[in-house]
Amino acid sequence: MLSRFGSSDSSSSSKGESGRVPRHSSGWSELLKHLRSQDSLRILDIGPTSSTNINYITGLGHSIYMANVVEEASKPEWRVPGESGEEPVFDVDRFLEGNLNFSGRMFDVVIFWDTADYLPEPLVAPVLSRIHKVLQPGGLMLAFFHQTSTPDVHFCRYHLTDTDVVEMQRAGNYPVVNIYNNRKIENMLSEYSNYRFFLAKDSLREVIITR
């Protein structure tokens, strides 16, 4: 469900959390320059709640909203019986209404992380389309995509830092269900005006997308 955190002097901290792995992120470095150069942006973080991210974004003078759609999508309540006794199917409209209903709010930045890799296929296009509708023209989105699915790939909580590093922390046992090559990623982003791929030394592709 959607949670909102505004600019404040919140003192909550993630100190003491363990298992964080630092990772260089060219995409985050690029997005950070934008966040530092703007005032009072509205940020949407699609991922497990991170007090580090809340404190950092609000400390820059922006507001942040968080929605962990991967965790929500794993719940059986969003599935309805298929026709003629077939396997249950996703009630996509109800899922979007329950998890990505922003009550008319528009966002300047979306941090999508690697969400598309973990969402059931029927939800990927509708979720990206909903984000397109609520992202301001010219707004930016940062997305990660796994190039491979191996046993050492885990669903993670990503923590922002004041450098070009993001910290990865395992946050659940959700499997990677989608692997996208560059052409598939480009097709997924066809509604958006522009996108830029960043090379990485590990198995993650990074993309900065412009609405």
Could you state, in order of their start, the residue ranges of all structural domains in the chain? 3-7+43-77+88-210
Q: Can you give the pLDDT of all 211 residues of the chain as single tens digits?
A: 556 656 544 333 333 356 899 999 999 999 999 999 999 999 999 999 999 999 999 999 999 999 999 999 999 999 988 776 678 889 999 999 999 999 999 999 999 999 999 999 999 999 999 999 999 999 999 999 998 888 778 999 999 999 999 999 999 899 999 999 999 999 999 999 999 999 877 888 999 999 9
In what order do the strands lie in the sheet containing 63-66?
3-5, 63-66, 42-45, 107-113, 135-146, 204-210, 194-198
**pLDDT at residue number 15:** 38
Helix %, strand %, coil % for the chain, to 5?
A: 30, 30, 40
Can you tell me the distance from the alpha carbon of 51 to that of 69, in angstroms, rounded to the nearest whole number?
18
Can you tell me the distance from the alpha carbon of 59 to that of 169, in angstroms, rounded to the nearest whole number?
22
Output the six-digit token pair for 127: 């979720």
SS3 187: helix
Output the six-digit token pair for 32: 């950070």
Can you tell me the distance from the alpha carbon of 156 to that of 169, in angstroms, rounded to the nearest whole number?
5
pTM, full prediction: 0.89
Can you tell me the distance from the alpha carbon of 128 to that of 195, in angstroms, rounded to the nearest whole number?
14
Output the six-digit token pair for 186: 């480009």
Residue position matching structure tokens 């968080």? 66
Enumerate long-range contacts of 166-171, CB under 8 Å, 24 or more apart. Answer: 166/22, 166/23, 166/25, 166/28, 167/20, 167/21, 167/22, 167/23, 167/52, 168/20, 168/21, 168/22, 168/23, 169/17, 169/19, 169/20, 169/21, 170/19, 171/48
In CATH terms, 3-7+43-77+88-210 corresponds, of 3.40.50.150, 3.40.50.970, 3.30.365.10, 3.20.20.70, to 3.40.50.150
**Residue whose C-alpha is closest to residue 42's, from 69, 5, 70, 8:** 5
